[in-house]
Amino acid sequence: MFASVVSQQGIAQSYPVKPIRMIIPAAPGGGVDTIGRALGQKLAESLGQPVVADNRAGAGTMIGSELTAKAPPDGYTFLMVTNSHAINASVQKNLKYDPVKDFSEVSLLAISPYLLVVHPSVPAKSVRELVALARKRPGELLFASAGAASATHLAGELFKSMAKINITHVPYKGGTPAVIDLTGGHVQMMFNNLISVMALAKSGRLRALAVTSAKRLPLLPDLPTVAEAGLPGYEAASWYGALLPAGTSAQIVAILNRELVKAIKTPDVRDRLVSEGAEVIGSTPEEFAQYMRNDIERWRKLVPTLDL
């Protein structure tokens, strides 16, 4: 035991001595990819080793989570995780990993609400008009998501349930291809993070109807929340964090926590995220562990009431 402790301390003192693999469980260009790459660049500068982004899209982020869970717990593989990780714990019955026990939490990095956006061809300029349109055309409106049982899927299902409407889900292998089809008019609506769709909404290629946070965003003061625009109590958001494989030494967890929190709070990264509607956090490992467990429990209570 003593030898093992000494060995882990030695590894932590020399860490890192080779490139670090950052698994991003989504296609390039989405919210988690944008945050991950920005942080990876800062980590490479501060740790003195390359941080290699490895995009593993598909299966509602489960591919990336499984790869991380099975990676050696040596600090050279970490996962940029989203709230889909917590949702999968509640929705998926046959996960190939334990979403809590197979990971070491590093930090909750940022929280970002979604925008409800529609293609400009949709004849609805507000949430109430969209709900009315869906009731006139049951099953005809298609809503895109980053994948079955993803966070963006459940945001749409929650909207569907609370509005008592029939809209049809179209899952994609990540948020980026979903947004591409939405801007092309192949689907009519989507809930997605601001990082991915706000520029498209500002340019007129998409129409933003509402934000999914509990309160209006200072960044978009004229855009109502879904709750005030017609569905009281509606709230949904993405969160982004970092996980290591279970069994990673506490010293390495502490090093990555320190450097990731420092990176997310550097002025250029922080200002970029805030300008895109995100709230920068940068928590302790313990705070992130509690936050993630609370989110898993929230979805476990909610999922049985939804039509999945």
Boundaries of every domain in the chain? 2-111+237-305, 113-211
Spatial distance between the Cα atoms of 303 and 93, rounded to a whole number of angstroms: 12
Count Cα atoms within 13 angstroms, Cβ side, for 140.
10
pLDDT at 3: 45
pLDDT at 221: 94
pLDDT at 30: 79
The answer to whether the CB of 236 falls within 8 A of the CB of 154 is yes
Among residues 284, 278, 251, 249, the alpha carbon closest in space to that of 38 is found at 278
- pTM of the predicted model, to two decimals? 0.80
pLDDT at 303: 83
Q: Which overall architecture, per CATH, does domain 113-211 show?
A: 3-Layer(aba) Sandwich (3.40)
Among residues 271, 299, 269, 305, the alpha carbon closest in space to that of 60 is found at 299
From the number of C-beta atoms within 10 Å of its C-beta (0-12, 13-18, 19+), residue 23 rates as buried
Neighbours of 247 (CB within 10 A): 12
pLDDT at 5: 45
Q: Which overall architecture, per CATH, does domain 2-111+237-305 show?
A: 3-Layer(aba) Sandwich (3.40)
Scanning the chain, the segments in alpha helix (DSSP H) are: 2-14, 31-47, 62-69, 84-91, 127-136, 151-163, 175-183, 194-203, 250-264, 267-275, 285-302
The b-or-e profile of 271-308 (16+ CB within 10 A means b, else e) is ebbeebbbebbbbebeebbebbeebbeebeeebeeeee
pLDDT at 279: 86
pLDDT at 131: 98
Strand, coil or helix: 148: coil
Spatial distance between the Cα atoms of 75 and 256, rounded to a whole number of angstroms: 8
pLDDT at 103: 98
Among residues 110, 83, 114, the alpha carbon closest in space to that of 293 is found at 83
Average pLDDT per 10 consecutive residues for the chain, totaling 308 residues? 48 87 92 93 97 92 96 98 92 92 97 95 98 98 91 93 96 92 98 89 97 91 96 92 98 98 96 87 97 91 79
Spatial distance between the Cα atoms of 251 and 9, rounded to a whole number of angstroms: 7
Count Cα atoms within 13 angstroms, Cβ side, for 122.
34
The answer to whether the CB of 59 falls within 8 A of the CB of 25 is no
